[in-house]
């Protein structure tokens, strides 16, 4: 996943670096800037509560172990009109529909790059090798004997 703050877009890429999907996001507004960098999904929850902001976050995909930053939808739909512009407290806000869909396909360990590049070239992000993708799938499946998995 590559998130471009300059465009307020999220891009899903396959192991060959091809864009499979994209969507509008809302990142952190002034004073709540979303930090750029290389992350991995560290935890997931269908519904999580932020005591700090008194808000339910739907389809939470955490990017930091302290719960400070992640990708998610929110209850209600009024926030969705702000997607495509800065509006959050630092997290990556997604539409409820897109958050649910992405959550169904994202596993702990998935790499996420957050950049701020008005001339984004997705080709600069090295795609996962087949070996790395296979290791990620095996980690998710956690088979008793990984050699029982054929691909």
Q: Are 95 and 26 in contact (CB under 8 A)?
A: no
Residue 15 has pLDDT above 90, yes or no: no
Task: Calculate the average pLDDT of the chain.
Answer: 88
* DSSP tag of 127: P
Residue 112 has pLDDT above 90, yes or no: yes
Q: Are 114 and 128 in contact (CB under 8 A)?
A: no
Residue 20 has pLDDT above 50, yes or no: yes
Q: Taking the model in full, what pTM does it have? A: 0.81
Compute the Cα dihedral for 130, 60, 43, 86 and give only its sign.
positive
Distance CA 79, CA 135 (A): 37
């Amino acid at each position: 996943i590559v998130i471009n703050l300059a465009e307020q877009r999220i891009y899903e890429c396959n192991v060959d670096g091809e864009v499979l999907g994209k969507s509008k996001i809302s990142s952190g507004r002034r004073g709540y800037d979303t930090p750029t960098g290389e992350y991995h999904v560290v935890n997931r929850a269908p519904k999580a509560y932020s005591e700090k902001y008194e808000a339910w976050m739907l389809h939470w995909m955490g990017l930091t172990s302290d719960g400070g930053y992640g990708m998610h939808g929110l209850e209600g739909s009024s926030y969705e009109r702000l997607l495509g512009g800065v509006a959050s407290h630092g997290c990556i806000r997604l539409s409820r529909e897109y958050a649910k869909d992405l959550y169904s396909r994202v596993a702990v360990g998935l790499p996420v790059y957050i950049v701020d590049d008005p001339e984004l070239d997705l080709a600069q992000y090295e795609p996962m090798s087949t070996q790395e993708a296979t290791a990620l799938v095996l980690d998710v499946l956690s088979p008793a004997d990984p050699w029982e998995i054929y691909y």
